[in-house]
């Protein structure tokens, strides 16, 4: 589900790999990346999953919301485990 979401948002294979440390919390400054721009556009406008107040940075930080949301999505390995 995670990879499907990232691809739907328009991330390249390289950007998907570059994003993983941000999701794991081992790298900071996600806000100034092209991955952030694509994912913000995807969640705030394409799917509408991001709450309006968060998208406007009134209730929460959009970059934190994106990373938390992505971290909550099941990975391909987790989905395979569920199918067994």
**Which pLDDT value is given to residue 81?**
56
Average confidence score pLDDT of the chain? 92
Listed by start position, the domains of the chain span 2-78
Q: Where are the alpha helices (DSSP H) in the chain?
A: 2-8, 13-24, 34-41, 52-55, 62-72, 76-83
Write the pLDDT tens digit of every residue in 41-72.
999 999 999 999 999 999 999 999 999 999 99
Write the pLDDT tens digit of every residue in 4-42.
999 999 999 999 999 999 999 999 999 999 999 999 999
Q: Is the pTM of this model over 0.85?
A: yes
């Amino acid at each position: 589900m995670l990879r499907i979401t990232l691809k739907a948002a328009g991330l390249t294979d390289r950007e998907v790999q570059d994003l993983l440390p941000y999701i794991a919390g081992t790298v900071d400054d996600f806000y100034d990346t092209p991955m952030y721009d694509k994912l913000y556009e995807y969640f705030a406008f394409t799917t509408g999953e991001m709450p309006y107040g968060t998208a406007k940075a009134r209730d929460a930080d959009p970059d934190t919301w994106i990373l938390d949301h992505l971290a909550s999505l099941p990975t391909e390995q987790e989905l395979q485990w569920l199918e067994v």
